[in-house]
Structure 1
Amino acid sequence: MAEAHTASLAASIPEIARRRTLRVSRAVGFVGMSAALLAFFVAAGAPTPLLPLYEREWGFAPTLLTVAFGVYAFALIGALLVFGSLSDYVGRRPVLIGALALELVSMIVFLLSPSISWLIVGRVLQGLATGVASSTFGAAIVELAPESRKRLGAVMSSLATTAGLAIGALLAGLIALAIPTAAATAVWLALAVVMAAGTLLAVLIPETSTTRPGALGSLIPRVGVPPRVRRLFRMTAPTIVAAFLETALFLGLLPIILVSVFHVTTPIVGGAANFVMFTAGTLSAGVTGGIPARRLRLFGNLGIALGIALFLGALAVGALALVWICAAVAGLGMGMAFTGSIRGLVPEVEPHQRAELFSAIFVVAYLTFGGSAIVAGFVATAIGVGAMAVGFSVVIVVVALLGVGLGVGARGRG
């Protein structure tokens, strides 16, 4: 009898330990991880109004400013390709914890940076963390969402990028306006606290996936376009490129353009312009669900071309007011263009091919974003910021119109 009781007690110990493990509810995890993903992109948008302050304080060339933007994209691509599917093998929680901890380290590097070189190191770490987080957060948020709210989880994941960039640029600009001498310290300290809280919460959330063998094999980068959609991918690529060239223009180049061409030194102007652009993009992506993907790409390309044409007009006459109109129009176009690209490509492939396709889409997108910003910085040093801005804008309009032509041509052949 005693032996049976002892055996029963021993068998129940693991169950008791499991129940006593501190965990938050799935609902709390859903809200917390959604907020953490938003915070990642708030942090990504925050440097836009802050880097000009660093430039004035440290006196570095505009080339280094654009390098600081560009390296983020390349680090993000590398992390996304290597670690994008790791959570499918080791579980969501370990990858979420690692991504948030690395993002916390990058915030601390920003906070303590004594030079532009350390800012670039911080951007590399931030890009790596965001690349690891992008796919894992999306999966975890959908899995943590209540069964009746799975669609809400998908919406939260998709809108976090543009909404976070908009909020980050605006808040950092407002802080820079209020306390210009301590803006960077305030922004990075606040974000470090947020990331620390997110890391702690990630430790406490329930695991939503099971582990399986093959983790090391999953680290081998895989990028490809399934044969079924290769032609459609080629026709869609200019639309993706146009959308991310526009993103590079606003996030990476607008601060130096405002200073050199419009003689605007208040950081809030660049932050607010980005807020307008990304808010318009978020809204257009959210309210155009009933428009067919091909037509959405067409409207998006036209919006980008028109918006950037207005920006060329603003450069020609020095009218800052046109920049705001450009931000709204081009932002609407960007949101429709990228949403139409995703909606047109993804449903055409089998479920097991989607991760590979998404990798190809984001490689094109972030190579465009990072590479164009870095090249533009060197061009600005060689021929001047104004001439660079005109040339960059013309390239965007040409690529967007190419996307329009390919869309119209495809409709005619169809």
Structure 2
Amino acid sequence: MAGAPRTVRPAARRPAASESIQPARGPRGFWVVAAVLGFSLTAASSPTPLYSVYAARWGFSAITLTVVFAVYAVALLGALLAFGTLSDAIGRKPVIVVALSLQVTSLVCFIVATDVGWLLAARLAQGAATGLASAGVSAALLDLQGAGRSGRGALMNALMSTGGLGAGALGSGALVEYAPHPQQLVYIVLLVTAVLLLAGVGLFVDETVTDRTRPRLWSGIAVPKQARPTFLAAVPCLAATLALGGLYLSLGPSLASDLSHSHNHLLGGGVPAMLCGTGALAIAALRSWSPRHCMIVGCVSLTAGPALTVAALSIQNAGLFYASTVIAGVGFGVGYLGAFRSLVSLATPEHRGALVSAIYVVAYTAFSLPVVVAGVIDTHIGLRDTATGFCAVLAVLAFTALIATLRTPATAKSAAPPQLPAGLNDLQSS
């Protein structure tokens, strides 16, 4: 391909040295990498049902919990900004291995934790691991999706992200409520899984970056010129989607406990799992839709769901709260899928890591910053009023995203994706 970066060449020796990505020799590499992404998000959400246990046993306040969340977010964003394109320089596998190793470190900290200091250390390592993995794993999914499987990388990115978040919250809630050693068992299970995935990456994943360059730090985010109109149109949808996820993973269990008058940890973990599970099902059902249609449906759902949540909180109705969660979950899934697909289809290989990193910086900023603010406000006005204000702002943001999507110029919506090397189809809308 003319114009492909000289820093990457196919592993198989072919006359066309400009071909930059080596296709996977089989499906195992793709699915192992997809499992790594799902695991990373499962591990990230697994502490959610345990926060109330930690608070009761160690006696910390909502402000402390906010600090714990902020540490995770800062570490994640710092890793993205510093190492967003590292996998383009040194290869996908080394970055994935380092990310999994950091996850192992964080899980060990969780297992041995006896106070808030250990919890902060665990979330710091976990945030760095998730940030490091995000861009590298997503780029590897695009590399390994294979000929004739256009769009599979973006689809699995959305499915594993939403499904992983839901699985972590639900599985952790069940183990905390019904299994012995509630503060350790979930992390022991995850630790074993991480070790197995490390072995799987080493044995089965094909490295697609075969010509290594000297890595440069703090060069990880950029939006190519041809993608900027679409990026600006997609940012409100992306922000609304991830802000909703942050709300449910942080305040969701407490809201469920407050409205249902139950302290069952499975119920608490079930609320974010309901949101993420609905999102995953919506992605699977609507995966053939165009990115634009996904974003429109996602924004409508993200407007209606939080609006109904406001109503549920005002009349203190648990049933309406669960119904609003399902409606919002549709938007959480397909809104993210549409935004991600619409953007990565516009990136050439030399811009792929930088653009994916830019997407994740926006996404995780929206995921974390509002929750930190909400945690501070919660200490002054209370949980229910804080969640009501959060949802009202979120509904307005989602409506703004809907207007932005509808008004996106046709040239930005339908820009033809660049041609990629033989053996690798570009991501584009189905």
Question: Quick check: 2:139–2:356 contact (8 Å CA) kept in 1?
Answer: no
Q: What is the Cα deviation at residue 246 of structure 1?
A: 0.6
Q: What is the Cα deviation at residue 264 of structure 1?
A: 3.0
Q: Deviations over 1:363-397 (max 9, x none)?
A: 11111111111111000012211211111111101
Distance 1:295 1:198, change over 3 A: closer
SS of equivalent to 2:263: coil
SS of equivalent to 1:212: coil
Structure 2 counterpart of 1:190: 189
* In structure 2, distance between residues paired with 1:381 and 1:96: 38
Structure 2 counterpart of 1:13: none
Structure 2 counterpart of 1:165: 165
Q: Deviations over 1:218-275 (max 9, x none)?
A: x233323333343433332221111111111101121233345554321111211111
Higher helix proportion (structure 1 or 2): 1
Q: What is the Cα deviation at residue 146 of structure 1?
A: 6.7
AA aligned to 2:108 is I
Distance 1:351 1:33, change over 3 A: closer
Distance 1:257 1:200, change over 3 A: same
Q: Deviations over 1:178-216 (max 9, x none)?
A: 03x621211011111111222233333454234434333
Question: Quick check: 2:91–2:208 contact (8 Å CA) kept in 1?
Answer: yes
Structure 2 counterpart of 1:174: 174
Question: Quick check: 1:66–1:253 contact (8 Å CA) kept in 2?
Answer: no
SS of equivalent to 2:183: helix
Structure 1 window deviating more from structure 2 (346-355 vs 32-41): it is 346-355
Aligned pair partner of 1:222 in 220, 226, 230: 220
Structure 1 counterpart of 2:84: 84
Question: Quick check: 1:315–1:390 contact (8 Å CA) kept in 2?
Answer: yes
Q: Which runs of 5+ in 2 are unaligned?
A: 1-24, 414-430
Q: What is the Cα deviation at residue 354 of structure 1?
A: 3.6
| TM value normalised by structure 1 | 0.85
Q: Which runs of 5+ in 1 are unaligned?
A: 1-24
Question: Quick check: 1:91–1:211 contact (8 Å CA) kept in 2?
Answer: yes
Q: Deviations over 1:3-52 (max 9, x none)?
A: xxxxxxxxxxxxxxxxxxxxxx9655554443333222111121111111
Structure 2 counterpart of 1:321: 319
AA aligned to 1:362 is Y
Distance 1:326 1:149, change over 3 A: same
Q: What is the Cα deviation at residue 151 of structure 1?
A: 6.0
AA aligned to 2:116 is I
Structure 1 counterpart of 2:21: none
Distance 1:283 1:261, change over 3 A: closer
Q: What is the Cα deviation at residue 112 of structure 1?
A: 0.8
Q: What is the Cα deviation at residue 152 of structure 1?
A: 5.0
Distance 1:153 1:242, change over 3 A: closer
> CA RMSD for the aligned pairs?
2.7
Within-5 A mapping of 1:22-41 = 28-41=28-41
* In structure 1, distance between residues paired with 2:344 and 2:208: 23
* In structure 2, distance between residues paired with 1:92 and 1:408: 36
* In structure 1, distance between residues paired with 2:409 and 2:102: 46
Question: Quick check: 2:253–2:271 contact (8 Å CA) kept in 1?
Answer: no
* In structure 2, distance between residues paired with 1:343 and 1:93: 24
Structure 2 counterpart of 1:9: none
Distance 1:377 1:154, change over 3 A: closer
Q: What is the Cα deviation at residue 301 of structure 1?
A: 1.1
Within-5 A mapping of 1:216-255 = 216-217=215-216, 219-255=217-253
Question: Quick check: 1:88–1:209 contact (8 Å CA) kept in 2?
Answer: no
